Structure 1
């Protein structure tokens, strides 16, 4: 089907709801697992402090496959690819639920992520093709609601399912939803196709190889299965892939990611800031539930409830981002907010079993509020100076960086946790100190990352938040 505005009222009515459902599946899956990891670890006979690979394998796979999703949808049709994405995601959920070992679960999560990586980009692309531009803003706003609700429902729903049933149900609930979405998509989604060029497979393989080996080094540095020689070989492969892509991209005009994009200062700083800031912030969704369950002995459901204040404040404070940035500018906002975020994370160092729960709630509320300002500001400044020729590639690069940063943030926080666990600190205070010192290091990393935003110009991003005042037209006098 040729790209064009959909006139069928039935299709126009159902498309936003189907897109919202597909996005909700992805958003919920991204958070429902965090409070369930200790229960899964116990069932599989693994340490709960070394279960991060279940999350990292998913987020890394999504990061690697995002550049493919748009090309595949244009090449083979939006309906075909959305149905394929839903089918793979649903089947992957089933495979996750029947996994008997950690390795099986990781493989199932990778398979699930193949479908998950296409859900959001393809659903968004369908809406862009199906609706006129003057309707897109309201439609896009509607489908972002699941992205905001997912972090609020996910941890609590995961904790509830684990306590009342078993951890398998956090994956099994995707089956009926996926089946409904599959038949719904077959019935209402237009199969738009678009002319596309040849996909840069060589560039994609080099980028994927470099990111995968880098993640493996961080993820498996402490594994007995990975010797020093193995880690060294992985490091060499990472360097080869990175240098190989740089040299390759300089020679071709159709590289997957044009290096010339990084000459755009706001994009470059936004990407680097997204990456290094999440080295500290990115581990919080993993570390807080582990602290509450493994450190303090609370239930999975209680740990999930404790994540609601953070998600709620994140949702509320998004409304204040524009006024804050308009008053102080992107540069000042990002520098100060990054430091404040790091201070809040560092405050978890002082938490122990005797700490009143209201203090923890306040910390979670503050963390959610500062995260709302941080991520919204970082993401928008990265896109501030993109034009029609660079917006598509820049947006894709930002999406990949975000997913990669989440993956690396979790891996780095888990690596720090294991380092403290293997030190003398791991024998103190029933092991709670390993969490406290991990939060302290994560906070320091976040504070130091504020230096990235100091390179922004004071007026950077001003066009995004400047007030547009209406002026009465001057009357002509004869």
Structure 2
């Protein structure tokens, strides 16, 4: 058991790591147009900067627990902060889009370890009766980061340059690194055997399929190359499925999908988050490139989305016990798609008040969706499936959001190419068409939640402490 001083400071340390991660995921989107102009790239082709980070996080989440058990929480958390800070510095020094994408991969390696290892240290350092209070404290920065991130990113672009979007992480990283070395306990778990073959097969399949879909959607790769990547990725996924059937300790248990609420919750996450994942990427671009907003104004317009998400934390605890998971998820999925598609009606003459209202409504509906899906998926897991199920759900979330960004970028590119001339109205029309398509994709996830029985989830009617990220 750590000493009293360490127990007092450890939650602050993990909270700082969580803040770094959530701030980075939101501060970047507002700066994408300025980054594109600086790097001489089209603003609508900057999705690789976002996708590279998300895919890296999704790839490494399954290994985070094993690394902490093998090398100790202090060493791994320190490595996470160092890699995240180093990646931030390399991002700021990047002179080309390719360099920036490579630096985002380095940053993603650190980001993939920050939150899982920090939570693990909390779970091992505190008695069970204190965990809820401590974990609730740690998740508060997860709300503060998205609240200030877009506005801070826009302000930094205007008063300095886009490089400061990444450089702002360095002082926090230096302080966090020193505090980690001083106060993070070196907790080592049982050195369980890690499923390296499964990890390689699953990771290869996930990355190859993502690259293939991005290549097909944007014509960034020749058709033959994209098809080769797609079939290679599907073969790797099939190989993992067969491997998991005979492995005594697979990376993810196939038995997870015999739990109906988990299977529906995970698959619903995969498809519903396609639209939700695209919105933080598309909307700052739409406001700046389509509607001509300044970076700081675009960032401020994203604040109602976060405030709406905070309001939903109260709302979701009321609606689910009253109507049940089936009705809430089917209805809310349709509302989510409609709220995304409603931006197809927005344009240069849309009143600011109406646009702010649209963003706030999206924040409420989106947060209700996440909380309900996550709680449904995790609520019926037992002690033998909780760790594997939570890890797989986190991977699904990151993968779905990266696919959503790639899909939105491909749609934007496709609709942009259909225009005769690249005039401002044509850009707005391309965004409007993309919003309509992404909203429709999100609504289709309602068919998955229709498979729920009315009684599913009754054993955990009040949402668990499930994060939105």
Task: Please name the residue that 2:145 is paired with.
Answer: 150
1:82 and 2:72 equivalent? no
Contact 1:217 1:234 in 2 (8 A): yes
- Paired with 2:20 and 2:412, the residues of 1 have a C-alpha distance of 30
1:312 and 2:307 equivalent? yes
Contact 1:344 1:366 in 2 (8 A): yes
Task: Please name the residue that 2:466 is paired with.
Answer: none
TM-score by length of 1: 0.95
1:146-295 equivalence runs, <5 A: 146-221=141-216, 226-295=221-290
Q: CA deviation at 1:258?
A: 1.3
Task: Please name the residue that 1:421 is paired with.
Answer: 416
Residue 348 of structure 2: which of 348, 353, 360 is its match? 353
Q: 1:269-305: CA deviations, max 9, x gaps? A: 0010001011222111111111110001111111100
Task: Please name the residue that 2:18 is paired with.
Answer: 23
Residue 433 of structure 2: which of 431, 437, 446 is its match? 437
Q: 1:343-386: CA deviations, max 9, x gaps? A: 11111111110111111011001000101110000000001210
Task: Please name the residue that 1:474 is paired with.
Answer: none
Contact 2:74 2:186 in 1 (8 A): yes
1:346-385 equivalence runs, <5 A: 346-385=341-380
Output the aligned Cα RMSD. 1.3
Secondary structure of the corresponding residue to residue 157 of structure 1? helix
Where structure 1 has 5 or more consecutive residues not aligned to the other structure, the ranges are 468-478
Contact 2:147 2:303 in 1 (8 A): yes
Q: CA deviation at 1:466?
A: 6.6
Contact 1:73 1:81 in 2 (8 A): yes
Q: Which structure has the larger Rg over C-alpha atoms?
A: 1
Q: CA deviation at 1:220?
A: 2.5
Task: Please name the residue that 1:328 is paired with.
Answer: 323
Q: 1:230-278: CA deviations, max 9, x gaps? A: 1111012012101111111112111111111111111110010001011
Structure 1 stretch 192-201 or stretch 125-134: which is displaced more?
192-201
Secondary structure of the corresponding residue to residue 269 of structure 2? helix
- Paired with 1:437 and 1:270, the residues of 2 have a C-alpha distance of 29
Contact 1:53 1:219 in 2 (8 A): no
Q: CA deviation at 1:221?
A: 2.5
Contact 2:317 2:462 in 1 (8 A): no
Q: CA deviation at 1:218?
A: 2.2
Q: 1:426-467: CA deviations, max 9, x gaps? A: 757242100000000111111121111000110111111279
- Paired with 1:402 and 1:338, the residues of 2 have a C-alpha distance of 16
TM-score by length of 2: 0.96
Distance 1:425 1:203, change over 3 A: farther
Task: Please name the residue that 2:384 is paired with.
Answer: 389
Contact 1:425 1:433 in 2 (8 A): no
Secondary structure of the corresponding residue to residue 283 of structure 1? helix
Secondary structure of the corresponding residue to residue 254 of structure 1? coil
Distance 1:391 1:426, change over 3 A: farther
Contact 2:262 2:378 in 1 (8 A): yes
- Paired with 1:424 and 1:260, the residues of 2 have a C-alpha distance of 49
Task: Please name the residue that 1:448 is paired with.
Answer: 444
- Paired with 2:462 and 2:433, the residues of 1 have a C-alpha distance of 42
Task: Please name the residue that 2:101 is paired with.
Answer: 106
Distance 1:232 1:391, change over 3 A: same
Q: CA deviation at 1:409?
A: 1.0
